[in-house]
Amino acid sequence: MEVNTEQKSRITGAKVKVAVVGAGVVGFSTAVRVAEALPRCSVTLLADKFSPDTTSDGAAGILFAGQFPDIPLERQRRWFQDSFDHLLAIAKSQHAPEAGVLLSSGCQIFKEPPADKRPYWWDTVFGFRFLSERELRHFPEHTFGQAFTTIKCECSSYLPWLRNRFTKAGGKVAQRKVSSFEELSPDYDVIVNCSGLGSKELARDDGVYPVRGQVLKVDAPWLQHFIRDGDGKTYIYPGSRYVTLGGTRQDGDWRLEADPGDTENILERCFRLEPSLRRGRVLGEWVGLRPGRRNPRVESEATRLGGGHGAHVVHNYGHGGWGVSLAWGTAVDAARLVRRCLQETHPHAKL
């Protein structure tokens, strides 16, 4: 493969260039982490959609995670812990209101006790305990519950805040649809793919599929504690401006419009958990497509694009229903992979 002038200048010591594709919570977290951890790199974030039009924008943003089947639990624990610690520092700072990051207390309840009564992140969140008999009496259909304090990260505020942090760290942002990694290869040393559901096409990954989620935004300011059914479908998450009522998990469903049947069903399920919600006012409906995958893909491709001097590709996508909860942790891993790629191709570059 021919080495062009741009690549030659980079190999001989000019700034190394990193592209991050995706402006959701995974893309912006990764871009910030790379720009701050590798300050001598030039980092550009490219995406076709930005806040408020990403999936991340409508997520309830509760820090909480299910378990992926094929990723060592230790690694999943690290992703969750890094994300929790990062967001806790923001929640405890003067940036909290602008960044939309707050502590949130509540409970998760189960009709039948789960096999693992303590999820793997039980000692990361605060005050994890089981519900008492007396508390469970409020939920007559449920026999077991967990109470804890976690973090709520409202991405419609957090994404603009992260974007600001990224540009302050020297990052550049451009609106652009990327049709292939090859198209970016001549201009960048490393491409980090954080395109979420877009990876189905961009990374030609058949394992990626939409998991449709519909939620309602409700005005019910007297509610302060979250309630989540352990089946993952029904939840009530009070936030800084409204309460999010959910939801649905419809695999393979690409519909982006709200379904009146789903709305009715969500209200009925949430009223059963919290009858006072009948006095709430529905402010709106929202639908998002979670980037479903058996496991998230956080790894670098073994070979560079086009072999010889092409760019490296690092992937960070497929977080399913837990993208807000794991974004910072996987961004830390992705930035480490970027550093490794650059050390291989530019052993003398100052990163």
Positions in the binding site for ligand FAD (CB under 6 A):
21-27, 46-49, 54-56, 59-62, 177-178, 194-198, 202, 213, 215, 246-247, 288, 290-291, 317, 319-325
- Stated as kind and residue range, the H or E segment containing 17 is strand 17-21
Query: Whole-number minimum distance, CB 73 to ligand FAD, in Å?
Result: 18
Helix (H, G, I), strand (E, B) or coil at 171: coil
Q: Give least dist CB 67 to ligand FAD, A.
A: 14
141 vs 127: CA distance, rounded Å: 24
Long-range contacts made by residues 275-278, C-beta under 8 angstroms, separation at least 24?
276/220, 276/222, 276/223, 277/218, 277/220, 277/223, 277/236, 277/243, 277/245
Minimum distance from residue 329 beta carbon to ligand FAD (Å): 11
Minimal distance, residue 29 CB to ligand FAD, in Å: 8
Q: What is the DSSP string of 178-216?
A: ---STTTGGG-SEEEE--GGGHHHHT--TT-EEEEEEEE
Please identify, using beta-carbon distances, which residue of 42 and 56 lies nearer to ligand FAD.
56
The least CB distance from residue 25 to ligand FAD, in Å, is: 5
- Specify the length of the chain in residues: 351
Residues 6+ apart with CB under 8 A from 85: none
Q: Which is nearer to ligand FAD, 3 or 256 (CB)?
A: 256
Q: Give the residue with the Cβ less far from ligand FAD, 145 or 246.
A: 246
Give the nearer residue to ligand FAD in terms of CB position, either 56 or 300. Answer: 56
CB-nearer residue toward ligand FAD: 20 or 349: 20
Instruction: Give least dist CB 213 to ligand FAD, A.
Output: 3
Q: Which is nearer to ligand FAD, 225 or 346 (CB)?
A: 225
| Contact between 29 and 331 (Cβ < 8 Å) | yes
CA distances from 321 to 48, 219, 285 (A): 22, 24, 18
